[in-house]
Amino acid sequence: MKRKLFALLTAAAVTLTVSAAALDTVKLDGYGGSEAPDQLSISNVVSTKELAPAGAGGSYAPTNLYTAEAPCTLTLTDDYLSFDVIPCQLVNGEWTYVSGLDEAGYENWFDALPVTDVAGCTAASVNPEEADGPIEHLKGCSVTLSEPGVYFVMARYAALDGQVVAWIDVGGNHVTAAPADGADQPAADPQPAAAKAATAKVLVDGKEVAFNAYEIAGNNYFKLRDLAMALNGSAKQFEVSWDEAAGAIALTSGKAYTAVGGELAQGDGADKAAKASTASVSKDGAALSLAAYEIADNNYFKLRDVAKAFDIGIGWDDATQTITVDTAASYIEG
């Protein structure tokens, strides 16, 4: 089935049965109780918001937005369901699939997601009687979303009318949803995260470089301009600029970085509160999905995400508590 792009504020012609509490598990039924009691569960849900009146839009447009804390796990609760989990980006006021995924032809859409942990969704879970049809999974297939961002989710029985569809905002602060009457409504309060001042030493091509970086949930986050400055003159250098037309931070690979002042400035060494960033980023003209947080009015991006985008080797020496950045090496998942 050819997927379409979805507008965030469009309603769904489907009734969802929801039972939830703060930081609890939501269970969704898109078939009015005619099949299993529910088809999909969502963990660590903070809040549920109705985006628009039910029945006002197309059949694949979600009614509800679920704000969740990471890690948020999506689990099929019945057998023989197709399962799509797709990262989204804001384009001209609408949330749509991340550029390039809508025509990629993945067997499962979550196969394309480096930011998810997939369990129990292997070929062994495919209905053997439907080898030539849509891939169907058994109860227990799960995808864990550990990175902030907005995701479109759908679970459906291939042979039946109906589906479970939802928007999930991991980390909060990504979506401003209009109420049913179309009046303006402020964005939901962001879900804060603890940003610990990073103490690890960083070696860039063997040379120690001091960064003002933070550790969040076990991952290191850096400013793009700091990284660009440190990598300037190397084989993996990149420029950082602002694309006014696209409203996005533009990264250009292979181009020397132009300093603007303030790069590699040292912080106060104190821990900070962080909230999920809404900054849009492109690389060489294509949208780029990077985990990011806003800390003290600056955007910090996950080091491994940036390294993967530019194929930069990243290592860790536990004995010396040192991060190594090697522009002569290729990125390896770790």
Average of per-residue pLDDT values in the chain: 76
Q: Is the dihedral of CA 311, 143, 57, 182 positive or negative?
A: negative
Checking if the pLDDT of 84 tops 60, the result is: yes
Phi, psi (5° rounding) for residue 251? -110, 135
Closest by Cα among 98, 135, 136 to 114? 98
pTM here? 0.51
* pLDDT tens per residue, range 238-263: 999 988 887 789 999 999 999 999 99
Average pLDDT over residues 156-176: 77
Checking if the pLDDT of 9 tops 70, the result is: no
Give 35 or 175, the one with higher predicted confidence: 35
Residue 290 burial (CB count, 10 A):
23
Tokens found for residue 206: 């063997």
Contact in structure between 216 and 148 (CB atoms under 8 Å): no
* pLDDT tens per residue, range 200-221: 999 999 999 999 999 988 889 9
Tokens found for residue 115: 């930011």
